[in-house]
């Protein structure tokens, strides 16, 4: 047994005790080496139920929040998922164990490069990444559109409501999970597209996320991100 296994088992037990009982999600979290996605200096925190900084003002969400968001998506292995906010790739890697295909966008190029390498290291073949403005959704590439998406998950907080371009890329019957609100008043919100212009909306729980911002960031890599 590796030194991380007892910590991982303890985390899975914590998630179960907190009410997460979806075996598929628990198995996916158990199969993903979270320590691979965080700075080496914080590897001892990999299996604590906390958010971990990854540089450039960004974090990997705490496992309970990741699990809660994914559970709300009701993902099956037939679904095509769009993720906004790749970070170093942890959540996308969990999603890859559950969905048919994952498309993920990161606006910070240094983090995007790390995520790309992480997916290669772990031989994740059903995730496609892009460094771009996530608020605009997945763009047409060579004239080909991947939209609509069955599920959309956003790892940054919209100020008042999801961007229209993201809502437009959600299929009829599709589900989006996104934090909404300003600092100190964010709530995790679930949108289900019932018809072309009709959504059912459910507030789930208070959260704390970095803000959802436009454009590709102009970053200088930090020591933390280089070593992630």
Catalytic residues: 61
Asked whether the CA dihedral 163, 134, 123, 4 is positive or negative, the reply is negative
Centre a 10 Å sphere on the Cβ of residue 65 and count the other Cβ atoms it contains.
Answer: 20
Edge to edge, what strands does the sheet with 198-206 contain? 127-131, 101-106, 80-84, 149-154, 170-180, 187-195, 198-206
Instruction: Tell me which residue of 153, 169, 60 sits closest to 115, measured CA to CA.
Output: 60
CA distances from 220 to 87, 183, 225 (A): 15, 25, 10
How far is C-alpha 224 from the chain's CA centre?
A: 20
Per the structure block, which two tokens stand in for 138? 């997945």
Secondary structure class of 190 (helix, strand, coil): strand
Distance CA 226, CA 219 (A): 12
Secondary structure class of 14 (helix, strand, coil): helix
Helix H segments across 55-212? Answer: 63-73, 90-96, 109-121, 164-168
């Amino acid at each position: 047994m590796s030194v991380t296994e007892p910590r991982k088992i303890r985390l899975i037990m914590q998630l179960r005790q907190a009410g997460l009982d979806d075996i598929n999600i628990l198995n996916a979290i158990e199969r993903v080496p979270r320590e691979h996605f965080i700075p080496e200096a914080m590897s001892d925190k990999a299996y604590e139920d906390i958010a971990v900084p990854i540089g450039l003002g960004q974090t990997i969400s705490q496992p309970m929040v990741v699990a809660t968001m994914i559970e709300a998506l009701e993902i099956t292995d037939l679904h095509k998922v769009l993720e906004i906010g790749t970070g170093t790739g942890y959540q996308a890697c969990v999603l890859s164990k559950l969905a048919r295909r994952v498309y993920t966008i990161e606006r910070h190029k240094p983090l995007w490069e790390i995520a790309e390498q992480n997916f290669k290291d772990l031989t994740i073949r059903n995730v496609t990444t892009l460094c771009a403005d996530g608020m605009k959704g997945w763009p047409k590439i060579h004239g080909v559109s991947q939209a609509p998406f069955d599920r959309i998950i956003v790892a940054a907080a919209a100020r008042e409501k999801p961007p229209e371009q993201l809502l437009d890329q959600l299929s009829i019957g599709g589900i989006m999970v996104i934090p909404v609100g300003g600092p100190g008043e964010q709530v995790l919100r679930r949108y289900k597209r019932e018809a072309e212009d009709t959504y059912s909306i459910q507030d789930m729980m208070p959260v704390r996320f970095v803000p959802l911002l436009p454009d590709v960031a102009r970053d200088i890599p930090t020591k933390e991100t280089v070593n992630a």
